[in-house]
Amino acid sequence: MDYISLFEEAGSAIVSDAMGRGPSITGLKPVSVSRAVAGPALTVSVPPGDWLLAIKAVDHASPGDVIVIDAGVEVARAVWGGLASLSASIKGVKATIVHGFVRDTMDIARLGYPVYAYGTSPTAGTPRGMGSIGEPVTIQGITIRRGDIVVADPDGVVVVPKERVDQVAARVREVMEIEEKIKAYIESGKGTLYTALAELGLLGKAG
């Protein structure tokens, strides 16, 4: 299994555990589909409401990329919508994550394109073209660089630095194996989560 599929199967919680309970970006909710997505980040930074570079990022993206837009949350003006999602979907982009506002949520849901956002607003911003594409962005104290692996699901967003992918993937497999043992223990009726952790010697070590 390749690491992208592995991270999507695992989800953000297990990836966070595998990174030593690494920090996550919280408060971004799925606008459309509620499934885990993972892929290399294509970063975008724009002022609140300035959507020009947000949509231009699709032209810079490769199939499988996750577009990560830092648009700020101070002004409720959408920088992403249904047509942008259609454009990204046709290009093969995996998902769009917006630290900011989006609109056309019903269109996005019908399209089935994964979008995670801080909030929604029917009001579009103004396309001034300020900002950058492909430069590092920092959201909630977490720096994301182009090519870092982003894992997003309804729990939140976790960022795996590209130089740590192999290490984190190996640890994700270990955590998933431990969780399977715990599930089997509970489902067998032998005991509870607490007793499973105690018998497996995992109290204080989980994750």
User: For the segment 80-92, what is each residue's pLDDT rounded down to a tens digit?
Assistant: 999 999 999 999 9
Stretch among 14-23, 82-91, 110-119 having the lowest mean pLDDT: 14-23
Neighbour-count burial of 124, counting CB atoms closer than 10 A to its CB (0-12 exposed, 13-18 middle, 19+ buried): middle
Residue with tokens 């589909």, as numbered in its chain = 33
Q: Rounded to 5, what percent of the chain is helix, strand, coil?
A: 35, 25, 40
Stretch among 15-24, 88-97, 168-177 having the lowest mean pLDDT: 15-24
42 vs 21: CA distance, rounded Å: 24
Q: From residue 103, how far is each of 3, 115, 133, 139, 170 by CA, in Å?
A: 32, 10, 21, 21, 38
CA 17 remoteness from chain centre: 15
Q: Could you tell me the pLDDT band of residue 94, with boundaries at 50, 70 and 90?
A: very high
Sign of CA dihedral 39, 41, 46, 48: positive
Residue 147: pLDDT over 50: yes
Indicate the length of the chain as a whole number: 207
Residue 63: pLDDT over 80: yes
Tokens representing residue 54 in the block:
């947000």
User: Residue 207: its pLDDT value, please?
Assistant: 46
DSSP H or E run through 113:
none
